[in-house]
Structures are given as structure tokens and as C-alpha cells.
Structure 1
Amino acid sequence: MTETVLTRGAMSGDAAHSPADGLPAARRRWAMLALMTGVSMASLDTAIANTALPELARQLHAGAAASVWIVNIYQLAMVATLLPFAALGERVGYRRVATAGLALFTVASLLCALAWNLPLLVGARLLQGLGAAALMGVTTAMMRAIYPAHLQGQGFGLNALVVAVAFAVGPTFASLILALASWPWLFAINVPIGAAAFVLARRVLPDNTRGKHGFDAGAALCNVGAFGFLILLLGDAAHGVSPARLGLEAAATIACFVLLLRRQHGHAAPILPTDLLARPLFALSALTAVCTFAVQSLAFVALPFHFEQVLGRSPVETGFLLTPWPVLVGIMGPISGRLSDRYESGLLAGIGLLVLCAGMAALLWMPDAPSTVAIAWRMAVCGIGFGLFQAPNMKAIMGSAPRERAGGASGIVATARLTGQACGAALVAGCLVLSEHRGTTYALAAAAAIALLGAAISFARLHPRTKG
């Protein structure tokens, strides 16, 4: 049988293959198509909901504060359950968790489209977030099984490209759907695409050698509480809620983390992968990711306010002015992926973060009335830097973990991204509370400083003692 003929035996998830060698080229393409379709839907649904939130609130007759839960519950569900789903993937198989996540996401999308009030939509979005977490929690581990070791950088670069494109087209896609149809179609469009991806994933995604350790449901619940309360704490602190409420949330966060660490002590494969975080290269790579995604979130939350309130640009202009960043990330993703197969990840990611820092500084020091071109090239520089960072850093995280702990490493990739984004958004809100007129300037300065810190952390990985 040749590689180009996909018989049922060749496409079966249980087909024999060597994990170290990845999949044959033809099956690899089909597997990545199924996987990236799911990733693109999960990424699109974040951007789509953000853009369509005012229209959703209007048509559901909901207040602005209550309608924000359409976005928040999705993100909270993802952050809180990524690591438990990644750990479950090590125990029962990444393929099973990924396909179950695709199925749940697709069904939840249908429930979102059928919801007739805000509570039902929020409940369906919770299920959607759980499905997205199951899929994205094991995505990076799946790519390690799909690609041979010498080509894994290309896979991570493709993942960066897909996420960047979804992020870039999300607002336009949402606006187009709302212009042609009613809001339920924002979610209904996922149903046929998700169903097709599920059928394909069942046939082509590879199975992995499963861990012999058990899955600790108690630790999983502690993890949900720890990260759930942490995200609530960050958001509420930035919006200046009462000290009493912040104190309760902080106490709950600490208590859940303490219980989690005590519960998983001595476990062969802890849900919060303290065994992997004890490795200097892994820990530094994860911390670099948190810093970088905090910079991204700072920029994409603060810049719309800066463009419209400080520079006097229209919302339509603002959308176009933000576009060069994700476009350049998409272009750089495959390039940086190929470079990461030849050069050290710490070096490439560090250079990328220095470029990102320079771009943020250039945005901070823009003239009072910059031209469109002046803004666009600064955004492009940021996109180049961010795109150069992403694939090498992902490869460093996965490459520094043993193959049997790929699930835990994959969970950290996604958790670091979402935690960094939550921290960045909270910092922007805090800067705006600090000063309504100069808050965006403070946020851009913070982004430049965090990018510089991330570069220093990335370069620290080049020291020989971090390789253990």
C-alpha cells in the first residue's frame, strides 16, 4: 500500500506506527487537517464571541455586565480544565480525549445556536469551553506523535499559523455572519464542520502508549478550583471590587493550590506537572510563554482604546490597524518552525521577544498624530517578533519533557498561553483604573517591559545548567 492510498486500515487510529518516527506523510496531512480544524474552531469562537457580544446582549435582552459571562465562562472553563484533560490523555489516550473534545464542542455549538436566553447560552458556552479544553489540552502532545522528531518544528509552526489566522479573521468573520444572518449562526456553523472533523479524527489520529498511573479525580477538582478562582481573582482585582471579595477569592485560590499540591504529592504523573516544572529548561520555557502571551493580551486589549480614544480613529480603522500583527504571526509561524529544527529554541525565542519589545516601544513612542503606515509597520514588527517566538518555544516545552509525559507538557503549553492572556487583560484593566487618560500608555509600557523580561528568561535557557 502506498502513502497516497488511505485505506481504512491505514487511517485507523489504532494502526501500528513508531511514535519516534511519526506518521507517514499522507496520513500526517489528514491528521493535521482534523486536528487544526478543531483548533481553529476553538480559537475562532473566542474572537467571534468578543466581537458579537454587544449584538448578543441586545438580542437576548441582557445587561452588559451579565452578557460578559458569554465570554468569561468559555475562557474560565478552558483554563480550569486544560491540565486535567491533558493528564487524562496520558491515561486513556490523546486520541480519545481529542475526539471526545471535538464531539462535545460540536454538540455544545448546536446548543448555543438553539439557546433562547442568556442562562442557556452561558451554560452551552461552558460545555463549549470544556470541549475546547479537552481538544487543546492534548493538541501539542498529538503533534509530537504525528510528526517525526526532526520535523516537529514544522508542526508547531503550522499550529501557530492556524491560531494566528483564526485570531485575525475572527472579528471580520463574526461581522460578516451578523450582516447576513442572525446570531445563532455564529455557533451553528461549527456543527457540520465539527462533525466532519470528528469523523476524520476518529480515523486518522494516532494512538499513544498509555501511562500505567491512575487518574486522580480529586486532584482534578482541586485544579479546577485553583485555576478557576485564580482567573476570577485576576479579573476582579483589575476592576476594583471590594477588598472583602478579593480576600475570599485569594484565600480560595491558595487553599485549592495547597490541596492540589498535597493531593498529588508522590503521584507518578501529577496533574499540575511539578515533576516537569522542576526541570529548568521546561520551567523557563513555560515562564517565557506566560510573559509573551501577557504582552499579546496587553497589546490587543489596550490598543483599541489607544487608537480610538487617544488617536481618534474609528472602530473600523482600528480593526484594520490591528491586522498586521496576526498576519505577520501567520507568515512567521512556518518560518520559525523550520528554523527551530536547526537552531536553539532559547535563541530564536529570545530574539523574537527582543523584536516584540522593540515593536511595543515603537508603539509607545509614536508621534501624537501618526499616519496609518506609521502604525502599521510598528504592528508588523510586533507580529514578526511574536511569530518568531511561538513555534521554537512550543518545541522547547515539548522537547524537554519525556515522551510519556507529553500530555502534561501539552497542558502546560495551553495553560501558559491562557494564563498569560488573563494576566495581560487584568493589567490593562488595572492601568485604566489607575488613569483613564494615560492608562493605555501605561499598558504599552508594561508590555514592552514584560517582553524584555521574557527575552532575558528565554536567553537564560542557553546556559548549560538549564538543560537538565
Structure 2
Amino acid sequence: MDQHIKQWPALWALVIGFFMILVDTTIVSIAYPVLLRELDTDLTTVIWVTSAYLLAYAVPLLITGRLGDRFGPKRIYLVGLVVFTLASLWCGLSGSIGMLIAARAVQGLGAALMTPQTMAVITRIFPPDKRGAAMGLWGAVAGIATLVGPVLGGVLVDSAGWQWIFFVNVPIGVIAFVVAWRLVPNLETRVHRFDWLGVALSGVGLFLLVFGIQEGETFEWGTIAGPITVWGLIIAGLVVLTAFVVWQRFNRAEPLLPLGLFLDRNFSLSNAAISLVGIAVTSTPLPLAFFFQIARGLEPTQAALMLVPTAVVSGILAPLVGRLSDRVNPKWIALSSLITAALAIAWYASLLSLETPLWLLLLPSAVLGVGMAGIWAPLASTVTRNLPTSQAGAGSGVYNTTRQIGSVLGSAAIAALMNARLALELPGFDTESAQQAGADVAGPLPPEVGDGFAAAMSQSLWLALGAYVICAVVVLCFAKPKVTVAWGETGAGERTSPLPASSK
């Protein structure tokens, strides 16, 4: 490692763009009721605005990490930033739901080029024994950004229109480009062979799986066209993804997914955990946005303010967690935080009704912030702790891919679950009825409709609750972390002794 590299300025430069792309993962959720009305669409279609972004974000991540290794993380990051910023402008100028979905897919591609470079730079410029604090900042930004998204979205939708949730990225993107150009170092590159068959298999498999889950309720989990059925698409997606893993096993050149990385227990478990967190984080804002805006009749800004305690509490506590990651076993931080988040979601679900005072709903929001503060940094520091520099791009690509796969599956699953619960609780009251209600009714829905609608949104939150609970079980299985030596002594990322007893 070049001792003259200014580590923290470089990291802060990357954080600006990283924050922006993660905000866009959730910023649309608060605008869904408005998009339903202004773009004349339905719930299943409008959720493709997020799913298209997440799918285009997730699929290329395995190879964009390698691109950073091959051409330099700074160059690939800057290219991705340009693509993301221009696609944001296109999103804001879109006049139809189809055009908006297409623009969001391009935006996701830009995000895929950027994201692995942030973790790769951290891994390559910070020695392993100092990486926890850097990952603390990275994790804090990841957590805060996904929570700030709905809040910022509500303010922009009310004050300037839904288009500005995308236009706001343009000046930020320009600033992020200039800062990264000046402060991020040009790092050593390595020659890679690219597994294009692996990219095709993973992309096709994910698309079939997500399309089947998200569109299942639309086709009543039956026939789509001719012999094609919803369950056929889902099974085909799983088969193609299995073929992808098998191909990675037998690809002797340079596999897209280095299965050898998964021999490290904590790497494997951290990837499983972050995918579950992706499901939970993506599936939480949507039922809340619909409850606040349609069931309770709040404006987007008012609905966004109901989520502020989560962002504020998480923002205050998250930096403290990063500094603890090098001193104590991150397993216990993550475990307690996941349990806290699960309890907050359960509390939320129990309170979603027309009679609950709005101020009372601020309390589970604050508790959720406590939980979210301690999830991102411990998982990030655990997954990268033993990575050698030669695997920085591949490892960060795998980790970010699993996080995004969780997010895109969460986006698809919450659409299906909300439609199913609405159909059960309010037969005949579909998303078009919800759209009309949100447009025509001032204030909360009448009890004969509102009670069932609130119950459907409450039940939809159990998807996030289940994901947090399962994730806590996964984290409980983490192995005791190892102390890693500084670079240049006995090799980057080499394992030595366990953490001191006081850190267990």
C-alpha cells in the first residue's frame, strides 16, 4: 500500500456518490401513490420502477468488481457516475411509466459500475487492522442512505414534484465526479478474463425469478401466455441460477463467482445475512407509505416525516458502531441490532390502524433506527476482514451482489404480498381503487375501507420481520473473527490469532 495515499479524503469522495445511489434504492417508495395517479398505472407496474433499478443494479455487480481490478476502480467509478447522473436526468424527463422504468434500468447499470469500487478501494488502501473504522463509515452511509431516501422523496414530491427525486441527482453527481477525480487515487490494475456466460446465466435466472414473483398476483399465479405459467417462470429462474453456480464450479479459467471465497465461514454467512437485510430494508417503506398516504390521508412530506426518527437515530449511532468493529466481536453488535429491528417492525405492525395516534407511530420508527445503526458496519467489516488484495474486486462484487439480490427479491415479494393481502382483506378493492381513493378522499379512508386497508399493510410488514429474524439466526452462527496483520508484514489479509478474550 502506498503510504502517501490520503485514505480518508479518498473514502469521503467515494461516499458522496455511494450515498446518492443508495438513496435512489428507496427514494421512490414514498412517491408510489403519486406515480400511480400521475402516470395512470397500477401497483404491480409501478413497483417495476424500483425492481428494474435493483435488477439492473444486481446482475452486473459480479463483473463490475472485476472491471475495477482490470481498469482501475477510480476509472470505472467515474464512468458509472456519468451513466447514473445522465440516467437520473432521463428519469425526471420521463412522461410515461414505461419510459421511467427503462431510465431506471440504465440508472441501475450506472450504480452497478460504482458500488464495488467503493469497497474495493477501502480494502486496498486501508490495512486490515484499520479497516473497521473505514467500513464503519461505509456501513453508516449504506444504512442512513436507505432510510433517508423516503424522507427526502416526500419533501421533494410535495415541494417540487416527483420528477425532482431524480433531478436532484444531477448537481450532486457533478460534485461527486469532481471530488472523486481529485481525491481518489489511481490504484494498481490486474489482468482479468471475463466470464460472459456467467453474466448471461445470472441475469436471465434473476429476471425470470423476479418477474415470476412480482407478477404472480397479476396473473393469479396461473397462466401468463400459452404454456408459460408464473410457477414455470419461477422454477426456470431457479434452474438457470443453479446452472450458473455449476458453471462457476467447473469454469477453470476465471469464474465470475469465486466459490473458493465461500470456504471462509464468515464470508459465506455475511453474504447470506446482507441479502436478508436487503429484503427487509426494501420491503419496509412501501406498506408504510401506502398506510400513511392512503389509509391516513397524509401528504407525501407528512408521511416522510413519520420516518424521520429512524434516519436521525441511525445517523447518530452508526458512526459509533464502526469504531467498535475493530475492538469487539461484530457478531454481537449485529445480532443485538437485528433483534432490535425485528422488535421495531413487530411493534409497527401492531400499531397500523386508523385509530392509532400518529405520534405513537414515531416510537417504533425511532427503535428501528437503533437497530439499523448496528447492522451495516459489522456485516461489512466481517465479510472483508480476511480478503487478500487480489480478491478485493471479486469479494466486494459478491457482497454487493448478494445485498442487491436481496433488495430486488424484497421489492418483488412485497408487491406480491401487498396485492395478496389487499385481495383478502378488501375483496374488489384493488390498487386502482387505492389510487382513486388517494386522489379523491381528503383525510383518512372511511372505516369500512380503511380498517381492511390498514390490516393489509400491517400484515405486509411481516415480510421484513421474518427477514430480520432469519438474519439474526445467520449472524448467531458467525465464527470468532481473526486478527489480521498490517500489509507488508506477513501478507495482506493473512490470518493470525483470534481476537483477545475481551472481544469475544
TM-score with structure 1 setting the length: 0.82
Please name the residue that 1:247 is paired with.
231
1:226 maps to what in 2? Answer: 205
Deviating more after overlay: 148-157 vs 346-355: 148-157
Q: Does structure 1 residue 32 correspond to structure 2 residue 11?
A: yes
- Asked if the contact 2:116/2:396 (under 8 Å) is kept, the reply is yes
49-58 or 415-424, which moves further after superposition? 49-58
1:418 is aligned, of 398, 401, 404, to: 404
Deviates more, 1:249-258 or 1:94-103: 249-258
Residues 1:158 and 2:153 aligned together = no
CA offset digits 1:198-256 (Å, max 9, x no partner) = 23323322344434441122222222222222322332246544254323422441343
Structure 1 residue 274 corresponds to structure 2 residue 267:
no
CA deviation profile, 1:399-445 (whole Å, cap 9, x unmatched): 13332112222123322322223343444445441543444444444
Query: Any idea what the Cα deviations from partners look like across 1:49-80, whole Å, max 9, x if unmatched?
Result: 34445555666666766554433322221122
Correspondence for 2:327 among 333, 337, 342: 342
Which one is further off, 225-234 or 263-272? 263-272
The alpha-carbon distance between structure 1 residues 357 and 107, as it changes in their structure 2 partners (threshold 3 A), is closer
In structure 2, which of residues 13, 21, 26 is the aligned counterpart of residue 47 of structure 1?
A: 26
Q: CA deviation at 1:396?
A: 0.7
Which residue identity lines up with residue 230 of structure 2 in the other structure? L
What is the identity, as a one-letter code, of the residue corresponding to 1:359? A
Q: Which residue of 1 aligns with 2:380?
A: 394
Equivalent position SS for 1:270: coil
Query: What's the counterpart of residue 189 of structure 1?
Result: 168
- Aligned-pair CA distance for 1:334: 0.8
Residue 4 of structure 1: aligned partner: none
Residue of structure 2 equivalent to 1:132: 111
**Percent identical:** 28
Aligned to 2:75: 96
Q: Tell me what 1:353 maps to.
A: 338
Q: Is the 8 A contact 1:428 1:439 kept in 2?
A: no
Separation of aligned partners in 1, 2:158 and 2:286: 24
Equivalent residue for 1:460, pick from 465, 471, 477: 477
- Which residues of 2 match residues 312-461 of structure 1 at below 5 A? 312=296, 314-315=298-299, 317-366=302-351, 369-432=355-418, 433-434=420-421, 435-436=424-425, 437=452, 438-461=455-478
2:280 to 295, 305, 316: 295
Q: When you count helix as a share of all residues, which structure comes out higher?
A: 1
1:111 is matched with which residue?
90
Corresponding residue SS for 2:369:
helix
Are positions 1:123 and 2:102 aligned together? yes
Contact map agreement 2:333 2:375 (CA 8 A) in 1: yes
Q: CA deviation at 1:100?
A: 1.3
Shift in alpha-carbon separation, 1:302–1:172, aligned structure 2, 3 A: closer
- How far apart are the structure 1 equivalents of 2:62 and 2:101? 22
**CA distance 1:401–1:221, change in 2 (3 Å):** same
Query: Aligned partners of 1:159, 1:76: CA distance in 2, in Å?
Result: 22
Are the aligned partners of 1:168 and 1:327 in contact in 2 as well (CA < 8 Å)? Answer: no
Partner AA of 1:217 in structure 2: W
Structure 1 gaps, min length 5? 1-16
Contact kept in structure 2, 1:281 and 1:400, CA below 8 Å: no
Deviation at 1:126, TM superposition (A): 2.1
CA displacement 1:117-162 (0-9 Å, x = unmatched): 5544433322211001111133222222343433322222223333
Quote the offset at 1:36 in angstroms: 1.5
Counterpart residue type for residue 256 of structure 1: V
* 1:57–1:63 contact (8 Å) kept in structure 2: yes
* Code of the aligned partner of 2:123: R
Displacement after TM superposition at 1:307 (Å): 5.4
Structure 1 letter corresponding to 2:478: R
Counterpart Cα distance in 2 of 1:307 and 1:58: 16
Q: Is the 8 A contact 2:30 2:289 kept in 1?
A: no
Kept after mapping to 1: 8 A contact 2:64/2:113: yes
Q: Residues 347 and 464 (structure 1 numbering): CA distance in 2 closer, same or farther, change over 3 Å?
A: same
3-state SS of paired residue (1:210): coil
Check 1:156–1:242 CA distance in 2 against 1; reply closer, same or farther (3 A cut).
same
Q: 1:241 to 1:325 in 2, by over 3 A?
A: same
Residue 397 of structure 1 deviates from its aligned partner by 0.9
Call closer, same or farther: CA 1:56–1:352 in 2, change over 3 Å. closer
Higher alpha-carbon deviation: 231-240 or 363-372 = 363-372
d(CA) in 2 for partners of 1:453, 1:96: 38
3-state DSSP of counterpart to 1:401: coil
Q: How far 1:373 moved relative to its partner?
A: 4.7
The number of residue pairs the alignment matches comes to 445
CA RMSD of aligned residues (A): 3.3
Change (3 A) 1:176 1:413: same
Change (3 A) 1:373 1:120: closer
